[in-house]
């Protein structure tokens, strides 16, 4: 008759959030030894070398861009926005999952966020760093990027506050700042743990500075909890607002295929979709190579797959509504836009998009599939590709044929477009490799808080 | 385990974190100060010229009208830098053997222009027209300063867009009667605002602030 017991029956059917049998010290030891005990392994060096090589590619691509100008890319009239904006939206979207896991799931008291939130939030910060490069690089004179900010200047001009491109500046910089703060504040007790366990002096000084004098006193813990809740409250609206503002880049324009009121919720759902796909793509290799299967359990993968499926269904609804409204509106330009997407020169990418985003992820309805790690990994990769294709279709296919046929054109990405994109993947991976080498990739404090109750549940079973 | 940091770190960290806001504000103020400083803007900094021409002597002491040399100011966008011939109208008779004027005479002999160093120059992306300003009651000295008191020529204004907008947004601050436009000794009257408002109405001054007015 006890509610505890009936709860156990339900949870017994699911994997636990933390494998029972851990103690406070074993959890701490396991996570901190990845940073302090392993040293730099060959496997890490191999992966880091590839990531760093791609980062160097980014270096070359950006330098050449700054020297020669945006003409090296495939953009032209009418497709004045190409890979730069596609990649910007893709990276920003990916970032949203980290904030959702960190902030929203915290406020909803979801315990399964604990082992994934640290590296998911790191993923967000690195994704926003990659995203932020594109609006700057796509400008004709990137070195004048600061004109976008409202500061007292010698021209007595404010930026154009009516433009979503200026709103982007505020949205993305707020997002970057709050995410960074949230991630760092959450990490302070863990950095203190590393400071206390570090063996060489340099490590102790560096972690000591970052831990900002954390003593683990009751006052510190109380402030930590308050700060985490406040930052979570601050970050939660950002999950919705940032990608809404990014969607405004398109929806306030009059281009057919862009001027649609469904864009804000559709983009936010798409962002969470691609973000969770990226978290799964990162979580699966990490738990394998660092033997973290008992911390990042099947429950986490199962739940993330469910969120992916749910947001995928919302995105599918978005596609169906776009198509329906285009025809229902009777507007010849909107109708042509949809026909062009389905049957025009870029039709292959549209149908590949439908396959990747709508058709293939439906396998996740099956619990067996959700718990099959290799298949889940492949589906997550497919969703990543699909969401890139979605931004490609939205940006390029809507722009290349709009109102006047004499203004139609085609977009062909150049090698520099690809180099910049792959280069930002290199930047992301480089930062991520550095993160897993030097910082605690799972939240030690939160895992410790789970130890007692999972051991109780383990015994009650 | 010994302490990693000295106790002074407590003070240092508090200072740097709480003081961070002030440090950033100070930096911003410093940059702003630099942007307005003569070191950056070259305001009141006279430039090296091939001949040390003195506006103070010619426009001030001798009372030569601005238009004698800067001939196209009433008709064209460019006010005009005088050809050597204009200098020789006097200096074929006066100071004919002066060493200081040798570059002028040799220019006249060889038919090669004197390469004056431009003091007031707007960047290429700005279109400025002298004639409209002069014909609507903006005096020479309003923008070019007390030219009749300059032994060596320097720039009076920063030429920043804000400097132009200051007048374009409120022309009544600077407009003067059309008869006084070429008076180098004009003094701004105490009732400038009242007079200015009247003149803006009389002269039908539009105070254009559209981007494409100047950025064509």
B9 vs A181, A426, B3, CA distance in Å?
22, 37, 11
Give Cβ neighbours of residue A47 (< 8 Å, ≥ 6 apart): A429, A433
Tell me, yes or no, if B206 comes closer than 8 A to chain A by beta carbon.
no
Tell me, yes or no, if A226 comes closer than 8 A to chain B by beta carbon.
no
Rounded to whole angstroms, how far apart are CA atoms A354 and A364?
16
CA distance A153 to chain B (A): 8
Quick one: pLDDT at residue A114?
A: 87
Give Cβ neighbours of residue B42 (< 8 Å, ≥ 6 apart): B155
pLDDT at A2 over 60: no
Structure confidence at residue A171 as a pLDDT band (50, 70, 90): very high
DSSP string over A136-173: HHTSSSGGGGGGGS----TT-----TT-HHHHHHHHHH
For chain A, the domains span 3-141+173-460
Across the interface, of B4, B13, B162, the residue whose CB is closest to A205 is B4
Across the interface, of A154, A196, A212, the residue whose CB is closest to B160 is A154
For chain A, give the percent of residues with pLDDT over 70: 97
For chain B, give the percent of residues with pLDDT over 90: 90
> How many Cβ pairs closer than 8 A exist between chain A and B?
29
pLDDT at B1 over 70: no
Rounded to whole angstroms, how far apart are CA atoms A311 and A57?
34
SS3 call for A255:
coil
CA distance A97 to chain B (A): 30
Selected residue of A147, A155, A156, A157 to mutate for chain B interface (largest B Cβ count, 10 A) = A156
- Please name the residue of chain A whose CA is at the shortest distance from the CA of residue B7: A213
Tell me, yes or no, if B1 comes closer than 8 A to chain A by beta carbon.
yes
Rounded to whole angstroms, how far apart are CA atoms A89 and A267?
9
pLDDT at A460 over 80: no
Quick one: pLDDT at residue A11?
A: 46
Nearest to residue B6, comparing CAs of A213, A325, A311, A280?
A: A213
CA distance B130 to chain A (A): 21
DSSP B170: -
Across the interface, do A213 and B4 touch by the CB < 8 Å criterion? no
Structure confidence at residue B4 as a pLDDT band (50, 70, 90): confident
pLDDT at A9 over 60: no
Nearest to residue A124, comparing CAs of A172, A158, A162, A52?
A: A172
Quick one: pLDDT at residue A13?
A: 54
CA angle, residues A138, A257, A337, in degrees to nearest 5? 115
A452 or B183, higher pLDDT: B183
Structure confidence at residue A363 as a pLDDT band (50, 70, 90): very high
Across the interface, do A196 and B28 touch by the CB < 8 Å criterion? no
Number of DSSP helices (H) and strands (E) in chain A, helices first:
18, 0
Nearest to residue A281, comparing CAs of A155, A379, A183, A172?
A: A379
Quick one: pLDDT at residue A368?
A: 92
Q: How many CB atoms lie within 10 A of CB A150?
A: 13
pLDDT at A1 over 60: no
Q: Which residues of B touch A208 (CB under 8 A)?
A: 4-5
**B89: exposed, middle or buried (Cβ count in 10 Å: 0-12, 13-18, 19+):** exposed
Q: Are A318 and A270 in contact, with CB atoms under 8 Å apart?
A: yes
Q: Which residues of B touch A154 (CB under 8 A)?
A: 35-36, 158, 160-162
Tell me, yes or no, if B32 comes closer than 8 A to chain A by beta carbon.
yes
Tokens of B133: 């300003």
Q: Which residues of B touch A193 (CB under 8 A)?
A: none
Across the interface, of A152, A156, A212, the residue whose CB is closest to B13 is A212
Rounded to whole angstroms, how far apart are CA atoms A308 and A360?
12
Quick one: pLDDT at residue A12?
A: 42
CA distance B128 to chain A (A): 16
User: For the segment B53-88, what is each residue's pLDDT rounded down to a tens digit?
Assistant: 999 999 999 999 999 999 999 999 999 999 999 999
Across the interface, of B4, B160, B161, the residue whose CB is closest to A208 is B4
Rounded to whole angstroms, how far apart are CA atoms A222 and A385?
43
Q: Are A100 and A239 in contact, with CB atoms under 8 Å apart?
A: yes
Rounded to whole angstroms, how far apart are CA atoms A317 and A100?
21
For residues B160-182, average pLDDT: 95
Across the interface, of A151, A154, A212, the residue whose CB is closest to B161 is A154
User: For the segment A130-168, what is each residue's pLDDT rounded down to a tens digit?
Assistant: 999 999 999 999 999 999 999 888 899 999 999 999 999
Across the interface, do B32 and A152 touch by the CB < 8 Å criterion? yes
Print burial letters for A83-113: b (CB count within 10 Å at least 16), e (below 16).
bbbbbbbbbbbbbbbbbbbbbbbbeeeebbb
DSSP string over A194-218: HHHH--SHHHHHHHHHHHTT----H
pLDDT at A439 over 70: yes
Q: What is the mean pLDDT of chain A?
A: 92
Cα four-point dihedral sign A262, A264, A270, A273: negative
In this predicted structure, which of A63-67, A310-314, A420-424, A454-458 has the lowest mean pLDDT?
Answer: A454-458
**A196: exposed, middle or buried (Cβ count in 10 Å: 0-12, 13-18, 19+):** middle
Tell me, yes or no, if A341 comes closer than 8 A to chain B by beta carbon.
no
CA distance B72 to chain A (A): 29
User: For the segment A374-428, what is each residue's pLDDT rounded down to a tens digit?
Assistant: 999 999 999 999 999 999 999 999 999 989 999 999 999 999 999 999 999 999 9
Tokens 């009433």: give the residue: B74
Q: How many CB atoms lie within 10 A of CB B7?
A: 8
CA distance A66 to chain B (A): 21
Quick one: pLDDT at residue A5?
A: 45
For residues B133-147, average pLDDT: 95
For residues A273-277, average pLDDT: 96
């Amino acid at each position: 008759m006890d509610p505890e017991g009936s709860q156990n029956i339900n949870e017994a059917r699911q994997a636990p959030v933390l494998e029972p049998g851990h103690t406070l010290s074993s959890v701490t030891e396991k996570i901190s030894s990845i940073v302090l005990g392993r040293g730099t392994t060959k496997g890490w060096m191999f992966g880091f070398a590839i990531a760093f090589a791609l980062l160097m590619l980014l270096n070359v691509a950006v330098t050449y861009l700054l020297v020669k100008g945006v003409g090296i890319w495939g953009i032209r009239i009418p497709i004045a926005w190409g890979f730069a904006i596609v990649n910007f939206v893709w990276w920003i979207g990916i970032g949203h999952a980290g904030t959702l896991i960190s902030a929203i799931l915290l406020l909803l008291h979801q315990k399964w966020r604990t082992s994934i939130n640290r590296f998911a939030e790191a993923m967000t910060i690195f994704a926003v760093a990659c995203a932020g490069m594109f609006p700057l690089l796509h400008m004709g004179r990137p070195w004048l990027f600061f004109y976008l900010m409202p500061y007292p200047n010698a021209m007595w001009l404010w930026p154009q506050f009516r433009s979503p491109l200026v709103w982007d500046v505020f949205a993305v910089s707020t997002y970057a700042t709050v995410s960074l703060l949230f991630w760092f504040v959450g990490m302070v007790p863990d950095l203190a743990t590393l400071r206390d366990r570090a063996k060489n002096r340099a490590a102790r000084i560096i972690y000591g500075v970052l831990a900002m004098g954390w003593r683990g006193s009751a006052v510190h813990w109380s402030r930590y909890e308050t700060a985490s809740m406040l930052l979570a409250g601050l970050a939660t609206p950002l999950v919705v607002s940032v990608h809404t503002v990014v969607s405004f880049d398109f929806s306030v324009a009059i281009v057919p295929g862009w001027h649609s009121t469904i864009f804000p919720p559709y983009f936010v759902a798409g962002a969470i979709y691609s973000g969770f796909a990226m978290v799964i793509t990162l979580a699966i290799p990490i738990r394998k190579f660092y033997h973290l299967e008992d911390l990042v359990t099947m429950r986490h993968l199962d739940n993330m797959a469910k969120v992916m499926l749910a947001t995928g269904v919302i995105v599918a609804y978005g596609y169906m509504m776009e198509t329906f409204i285009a025809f229902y509106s009777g507007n010849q330009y909107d109708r042509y836009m949809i026909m062009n997407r389905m049957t025009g020169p870029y039709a292959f990418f549209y149908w590949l998009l439908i396959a990747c985003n709508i058709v293939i992820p439906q396998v996740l309805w099956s619990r067996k599939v959700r718990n099959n790690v290799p298949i889940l990994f492949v589906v997550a990769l497919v969703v990543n590709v699909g969401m890139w294709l979605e931004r490609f279709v939205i940006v390029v296919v809507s722009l290349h044929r709009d109102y006047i046929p004499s203004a139609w054109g085609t977009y062909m990405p150049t090698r520099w477009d690809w180099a910049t994109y792959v280069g930002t993947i290199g930047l992301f991976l480089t930062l991520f490799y550095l993160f897993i080498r030097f910082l605690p990739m799972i939240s030690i404090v939160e895992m410790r808080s789970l130890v007692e109750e999972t051991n109780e549940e383990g015994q009650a079973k | 385990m010994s302490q990693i940091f000295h106790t002074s770190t407590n003070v240092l960290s508090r200072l740097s974190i709480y003081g961070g806001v002030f440090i950033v504000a100070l930096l911003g103020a410093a940059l702003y100060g630099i942007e307005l400083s003569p070191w950056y803007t070259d305001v009141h900094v006279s430039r090296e010229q091939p001949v040390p021409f003195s506006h103070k002597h010619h426009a001030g002491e001798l009372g030569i009208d601005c238009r004698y040399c800067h001939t196209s100011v009433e008709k064209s966008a460019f006010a005009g830098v005088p050809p050597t011939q204009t200098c020789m109208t006097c200096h074929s008779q006066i100071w004919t053997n002066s060493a200081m004027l040798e570059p002028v005479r040799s220019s006249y002999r060889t038919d090669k222009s004197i390469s004056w160093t431009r003091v007031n120059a707007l960047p290429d992306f700005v279109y400025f027209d002298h004639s409209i300003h002069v014909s609507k009651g903006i005096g020479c000295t309003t923008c070019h300063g007390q030219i009749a008191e300059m032994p060596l020529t320097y720039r009076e204004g920063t030429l920043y867009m804000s400097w132009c907008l200051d007048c374009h947004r409120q022309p009544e601050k600077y407009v003067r009667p059309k008869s006084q436009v070429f008076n180098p000794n004009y003094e701004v009257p105490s009732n400038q605002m009242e007079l200015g408002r009247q003149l803006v109405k009389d002269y039908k001054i539009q105070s254009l602030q559209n981007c494409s007015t100047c950025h064509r």
